[in-house]
Amino acid sequence: MPKITQAKIAILATDGYEQLELTQPLEKLKAAGATVHVVSLEAGQIKGWDKDHWGDNVAVDKTLSEVSVSDYDALVLPGGQINPDTLRTDDKAVAFIRDFYNSKKTLAAICHAPWLLIEAGVIRDRDVTSFKSIKTDVTNAGGRWHDQEVVTDQALITSRNPDDLPAFIAKIIEEVEEGRHEQRQAA
């Protein structure tokens, strides 16, 4: 596995994140050498959703009010239905995602997390994928939807579901190694 030992990566989530879509990137990115922080709206712990029932808790390392875009080299947005639906109603979370996109650093969203990209106004004219049930939301927001395990458009990485996690995580590592994507247009 490639090493990204100097990288700092934020995973932005709240209660209802899809269990594997947070825990696997957290474990694999740390194993690759990155410093990874779980960032949420409030301190304490957040509870995962595991297929059809509540899952495990994960400790929050930093609150959104304690971080800035300049602190991180990449931002990962896990899906699930509850997590991104809650986050997209929080103005600070949406602004953080938009600012991260505009920083031209790696931004990765899986499953239902492209709802957050839509809300942040960064999906128009981008090649993306998502969980199939939000395909219409993505295309209505101007995204070019593809049914592939991972789609990358200038360091904007998207995947469909937990089955795509190996490709999703590998692409995050690759894009972080490449650094900023200066050619990416701001939202």
Known catalytic residues are 111
Q: At what angle do helices 165-178 and 19-31 cross, to 10 degrees?
A: 40
What does the alpha-carbon distance between residue 30 and residue 45 come to, in Å, rounded to a whole number? 19
Sheet holding 8-12, edge to edge: 62-63, 35-40, 8-12, 74-77, 106-110, 156-159, 150-153
Query: Around Cβ 66, how many Cβ atoms within 10 Å?
Result: 12
CA distances from 41 to 126, 135, 145, 163 (A): 28, 27, 29, 27
Q: Specify which residues 151 forms β-bridges with.
A: 158
Cβ atoms of 122 and 156 within 8 Å: the answer is yes
Q: Rg (Cα) of the chain, in Å, rounded? A: 14
Cβ atoms of 76 and 108 within 8 Å: the answer is yes
